[in-house]
Amino acid sequence: ALKGEHLQPVGAFKIRGAYTAISRLSPAEREAGVITYSSGNHGQAVAYAAARLGTRAIVVMPDHAPAIKVEGVKRHGGEVRMGGPTSATRRAKAEAIAQADGLTIIPPFDDLNVIAGQATCTLEILEQAPDVETLLVPVGGGGLLAGACVVVAALKPDIRVIGVEPTGAAKLTAAMAAGSPVSLEETLSIADGLLPLAIGGLTFPIIRPILRETIQVDDAQITAAVRVLSLECGVSAEPSGAATSAALLAGAVRPSGPTVAIVSGGNVDPTLFQQLVHA
């Protein structure tokens, strides 16, 4: 089964964490506004949630962010600032603006309120598919996976939780081997939402004791999954959202029972999407 987070209002699961975090701010904090640093989907989610909760939102985005994601932030009412090539440069710029303007930072994944919001995705999975035995979750910074691990640990600890990440951005694999987050020198993948250099310092300790295994998928496998999801399932997934399906289609995971793969988002440039589907 697929959990279709591409159907969310901002086209990705990120609305869960962003709305939860902003809704828990004090009136004074909301009055001042919020800021985040994001490759795209989290930025759109913060802009969307902020608009509905009556607060200003600034999103510091990568210089190379897909145009569809930049336009999405603006369409939802957010202010876009370009913040350089890496997550570190974007975070530094966001922190400087937050300090100068008195804004609250809503991190993309390493925040307990954000993790709590992302956990609602897995809560819904257990409500809709209570017999699930294997759960595949895409891994960027680990917010969605940490939320899944919290729910599984509390409600159904026998579920086999599998993290799926690009071969060119295997930060969770590195962290599991080292026993703590490891910062990669660079990350490269068509899955632009899964490219943090390191797993989160808050997310990793939540993930580590629950995670059963980590699977890596390459860009060719991700592209094939985008194509299959579109042509055979009618699902328009962005590459990051197709990673879990890629692991299944490539045979990297062999389910022994009911299995759910989270399709985390569908915000992909239309031209790129057509190229992937008809590759």
**Residues belonging to the active site:** 14, 39
User: 191 phi and psi, to 5 degrees?
Assistant: -85, 85
Alpha carbon distance 162, 268 (integer Å)? 24
Q: Whole-angstrom Cα distance, residue 72 to residue 265?
A: 13
Closest CA relative to residue 153, chosen from 138, 165, 171, 135: 135
Pick from 273, 250, 272: which is nearest to 261 by CA?
Answer: 250
- 143-155 and 112-128 are packed helices; what angle lies between their axes, rounded to 10 degrees? 60
Quick one: angle between helices 41-52 and 67-75, nearest 10? Answer: 10
CB 33 within 8 A of CB 94: no
- Residue holding tokens 């902003």? 22
Cα 89 to Cα 77, 110, 263, distances in angstroms:
23, 16, 29
Q: Which among 9, 11, 2 is positioned nearest to 238, based on CA atoms?
A: 11
Strand partners, 138: 164
